[in-house]
Structure 1
Amino acid sequence: MSKFQTTNDFKEITYGRRSVKEYDPEVKISKEEMTAIIEGATRAPSSVNMQPWRFIVIESKEGKEKLAPLAKFNQTQVLTSSAVVAVFVDMENASYMDEIFSKSVEHGYLPQETKDMAMSTYKPYYDTISAADLRDVNFVDAGLVSMQLMLVARAHGYDTNAIGGYEKAKIAEAFDLDKDRYQPIMLISIGKGTKKGYPSYRLPVETVATWK
């Protein structure tokens, strides 16, 4: 458990989470604590453990001023939050495959023969997968890490808001990324809310789930 964590009550984390759009601009999150939040988020699962997610933590005045015009109707979250985490996927994430499996062997998580089998199976797959199929796989993984980031932030006592309404075609280059390699997923504002988020109606389980 992180020393910063304020609760590990799973029901409080999940049922107490709200989308909060106005924050106390005086509240800052240290780099140490933000690192802990992102580290917790990256425990999310990913296809073949390829971890395609990449983050830009936008917390400086200059960074927020650059982001705000791209955020359309979500500028309040950008300008008042402690930080906005821009979530991307790296379309060249398979270049880390050898490192991921090698370190897993080094730390005792996998035997060498499992690494060898995985590399011989998955490297050819990633070498030949279409851009569209890779995008689909990576976007699912990025959704998992994004939700986990919001839950970890909640456990640290912070509020969040997932933002999809922004200039996705412009954000990578605005923050000096290769727009073809790094594709945007969402923005996540994080901070201490000044107004509580309101509950929202959820469809009953009987509507969204079927037993066979």
Structure 2
Amino acid sequence: MKFHAFCRFFSTSCLFGKAVSDVILARYACKTFQDEEVSDDTIHRLLHLSSRAPSALNTQPYVCVVVKSDSGKEALAQAMDGPNPAHVRESSFSLVWAADPNPELPPDAPEFAASLLKEVSLKQQSTHEAWAVKQTMIAVGFFLIAATAHGLHTNPMEGFKSQAAVREAVGLPDKYDVPVVVAVGFAKDPRPAASSRRPLNETFFCNRFGQSFKAT
């Protein structure tokens, strides 16, 4: 069996493929957390897995602040809005994801990377900030799935009083944009009914917009 054929078989036909599917389907936005800490070793493992997310030219234009002390959670909670202060306070820890609109290239970047970043990646975006947030959210997605795979529950939150308030709560410099804060812990209440999703034929198309993708 050729390597690519083996990979397709492995990902769709064995327990690994099923496990990945189960993890994705198990993820949901958890609203209540148990009073139980997540170990630092587990947090470190999740951060490592998140760091493997792809980014344009491997720029990794983001930083992430882990908020786990009582005083840190209270400061962050004060910057949140709606029901989200409670989610931060009750969580084992929260992550403040911050996008850097003007990142430095990694030391192993090829010589053409700077011009490519400027003339291709950044040129396709309305602002540098929009580009950086897009790259950051890929890493956030990796984190959400990795946390679920480790038996944890997450709640990604956009509801905060302002980005400036969140930056001040965790000491971030003004240059960073804050797209999302993620509360993490062990679920206290049973999972609610799965939320709906739009029908696939309204979201996914084949070759051209409006042409539904149909499995064969």
Change (3 A) 1:129 1:69: same
For residues 123 and 20 of structure 1, what CA distance do their matches in structure 2 show? 37
Number of matched residues?
187
Structure 1 position 117, deviation (Å): 3.6
Looking at both structures, which has the greater relative contact order when contacts are Cα pairs under 8 Å and sequence separation is at least 6? Answer: 1
Structure 1's 178 and 32: CA in aligned 2 closer, same or farther, altered over 3 A?
A: same
Look up the match of 1:200: 195
What is the distance in 2 between the residues matched to 1:20 and 1:156? Answer: 15
User: Could you say what secondary structure the match of 1:99 adopts?
Assistant: coil
Q: What corresponds to 1:161 in structure 2?
A: 155
Aligned to 1:12: 22
Q: CA deviation at 1:176?
A: 1.7
Q: Of the candidates 137, 144, 156, which is equivalent to residue 143 of structure 1?
A: 137
Separation in structure 2 between the aligned mates of residue 48 and residue 130 of structure 1, nearest angstrom: 15
> CA RMSD of the aligned region, Å?
2.3
Q: Which amino acid aligns with 1:118?
A: A
Q: CA deviation at 1:31?
A: 2.2
Farther-moved stretch of structure 1 (139-148 vs 56-65) = 139-148
Q: Structure 1 residues 100 and 136, CA, compared in 2 at 3 Å: closer, same or farther?
A: farther
- Select 1:45's aligned residue among 54, 60, 63: 54
Is structure 2 residue 78 aligned with structure 1 residue 69?
A: yes
- Check whether the contact 1:158–1:191 (CA below 8 A) recurs between aligned residues: yes
Question: 2:98 — aligned with what?
Answer: 88
Counterpart residue type for residue 22 of structure 1: T
Greater share of helix: 1
Residues 67-121 of structure 1 show CA distances to partners (whole Å, capped at 9, x for unaligned) of: 112111212211111100010012231x2x14242xxxxxxxxxxxxx23435x3
Matching of residue 182 in structure 1 with residue 192 in structure 2: no
Structure 1 portions without partners, runs of 5+: 1-6, 102-114
Counterpart CA distance in 2 for 1:129 and 1:176 is 30
- CA deviations on 1:15-48 (whole Å, 9 max, x unpaired) are 11111011012x1122222111011012111111
Q: Is the 8 A contact 1:54 1:90 kept in 2?
A: yes
Cα distance in structure 2, aligned partners of 1:118 and 1:129: 14
Kept in 1, the 8 Å contact 2:80–2:166? The answer is no
Structure 2 length-normalised TM = 0.79
